[in-house]
Amino acid sequence: NAGVTQTPKFQVLKTGQSMTLQCAQDMNHEYMSWYRQDPGMGLRLIHYSVGAGITDQGEVPNGYNVSRSTTEDFPLRLLSAAPSQTSVYFCASSYNRDRANYGYTFGSGTRLTVV
């Protein structure tokens, strides 16, 4: 059981480039979400999904795009990378929204640097 898998683990981008951070889970979890972690800021919610075909914005959605075509995958797209998007990105999932209060399963994170 792999849990939540994030790829890549590290990435360096140039300003203006686009890329997709991958997140996949094999636990048949309906609820998936993306957070970014910045020094001194804790984790902040970017986007989330309560099931395939359904996504919604979190606290800091600007500059990011998501889609959920399957239950397993929830990719995060950076449309035109900016230095302000330098951060560590975490994907997290739970069985469903109602049971998220039992805790998430987190991926191991992607450290993104935009130069």
Partner 1 sequence: AQTVTQSQPEMSVQEAETVTLSCTYDTSESNYYLFWYKQPPSRQMILVIRQEAYKQQNATENRFSVNFQKAAKSFSLKISDSQLGDTAMYFCAFMKGIYGGSQGNLIFGKGTKLSVKP
| Residues in touch with partner 1 (CB under 8 A) | 31, 33, 35, 40-45, 48, 50, 58, 88, 90, 92, 94, 96-104, 106, 108-109
In the complex with partner 1, the residue whose CB is nearer, 26 or 59, is 59
In the complex with partner 1, the residue whose CB is nearer, 33 or 71, is 33
Q: What is the DSSP string of 46-106?
A: EEEEEETTEEEE-S--TTEEE--SSSSB--EEESS--GGG-EEEEEEEES-SGGGGG-PEE
In the complex with partner 1, the residue whose CB is nearer, 77 or 97, is 97
